Amino acid sequence: MFITTDQTVNLGTEVTVSLVLPDSSVQIRIRAVVVHARSLQEAISLGKPAGLGVRFLDLSETTLSHIEAYIRERMEADETPSAPLAKIRVVIVDDDPKFRELAAQAFRANLDEIQFAKDGFEAIAICLKNPPDIILSDVHMPRLDGWQLLRLLRARKELAQTLFVFTTSLSNERDRLRAYTLGVDDFLSKPYNLSELKAKISRLLARRNNQLTAKHLQGDLKQVSLASVLSWIEMEQRSGHLYVRSSIHGQFVISSGRIFHANVEKFERTEIQAAFQLLQLTEGEFEFVPGEVNTQDKLHLTTSQLLLENARISDEFQQQEDSISNNPDPNLF
């Protein structure tokens, strides 16, 4: 367990942790030992919070029963039926009938309008006749594959904003970044379960309803890293703002592929510290909004130089953590 704090405590020190369960008055006190510490100076250089890593020394039956009761109570609350969603039009594109039927199950309970296509040609015909709210498409299909379908849809004004999800497992980050640049909204790896599909569709619909601006390059940091996005922007010599929304919010201001400015909201950071902190994020969303940039270069590094330095610092930190894991202090046990 990692505890965010600016206090310095020696490794091996025993502490008492007060665990407060969310939305609950239950407070559990557990004995623990400090096995890792990250100072404020290290945290700023790495773009991570300062604090202590602790290992629990005991979990009594009373403590476990409190946690189990809390989980059961929340599970029962989650089973309460929610209000029905507004009906949507869905096109499911896949040459495999098993996956077409699997995807359809996620929409039938809400009585959504569902149409099927075996390849991109059939999908285009359906979409032109009656534009859908969302398209779920496989990538590899006969005649017209998912890549070509995506290009054709985004080229038509009436379909450019339609939500598009690839239901496949693109194996490398380069393919996922390519899909984002072409206008895909998200990915769903096969095989998937219905709850995962429903959750993803709900998030996409909510995001679409909240967006008032035109569609930009945007995506999920679990699918594509910020380093890859910045490398693409540098290669394409783009200018604009790259917004990052995660546990922290921040942005990069970029001119002709070069990062001029970086900041993290609600935190005082130097330009380089803000850039490194944002680059450490592995969850959240990014959005690149092209436009003119009116600011001076405050980093004085090319994007490639910044990414190389971030990779070097990350590798050094990982080596330190691996060393601690492989060679624990014997006095701690």
Instruction: Give pLDDT, residue 9.
Output: 75
| CATH number belonging to the domain at 89-215, selected among 3.40.50.720, 3.30.420.10, 3.40.50.1980, 3.40.50.2300 | 3.40.50.2300
DSSP 215: P
**Binned average pLDDT, 10 residues per bin, the chain of 333 residues:** 71 75 61 75 68 67 57 48 67 92 87 91 91 92 89 88 84 82 86 82 78 67 90 91 93 95 90 93 90 90 92 77 60 46
86-130 pLDDT, tens digit per residue, is: 788 999 999 999 989 989 988 887 888 999 999 999 999 999 998
> What residues contact 189, with CB distance under 8 A and at least 6 apart?
168, 169
pLDDT of residue 213: 46
Helix axes 97-108, 194-210, angle to 10 degrees: 60
Burial (CB < 10 A; 0-12, 13-18, 19+), residue 221, is: middle
State the pLDDT at residue 127: 92
pLDDT at 276: 93
Residue with tokens 């709210």: 133
> DSSP assignment, residue 155?
T
Which residues have C-beta within 8 Å of that of residue 316, sequence separation ≥ 6? none
Q: What is the per-residue pLDDT for 68? A: 54
The per-residue DSSP string of 10-47 comes to -TT-EEEEEEE-TTS--EEEEEEEEEEEE-HHHHHHHT
Per-residue model confidence (pLDDT) at position 173: 81
pLDDT of residue 332: 44
Helix (H, G, I), strand (E, B) or coil at 327: coil
Minimal CA–CA distance to 143: which of 163, 117, 167?
A: 117
**Which residues make beta-bridge pairs with 315?**
none
Domain spans of the chain? 2-78, 89-215, 226-321
Give the per-residue pLDDT at 197.
86
Omega before 191 within 30 of 0, i.e. cis? yes
pLDDT of residue 81: 45
Measured torsion, CA atoms of residues 292, 298, 304, 310, in degrees rounded to the nearest 10:
-130
Q: What is the pLDDT of residue 199?
A: 84
Q: What is the pLDDT of residues 195-232, one digit of tens each?
A: 888 888 888 888 776 654 456 788 889 888 999 999 99
29 Cα distance to chain centroid? 33
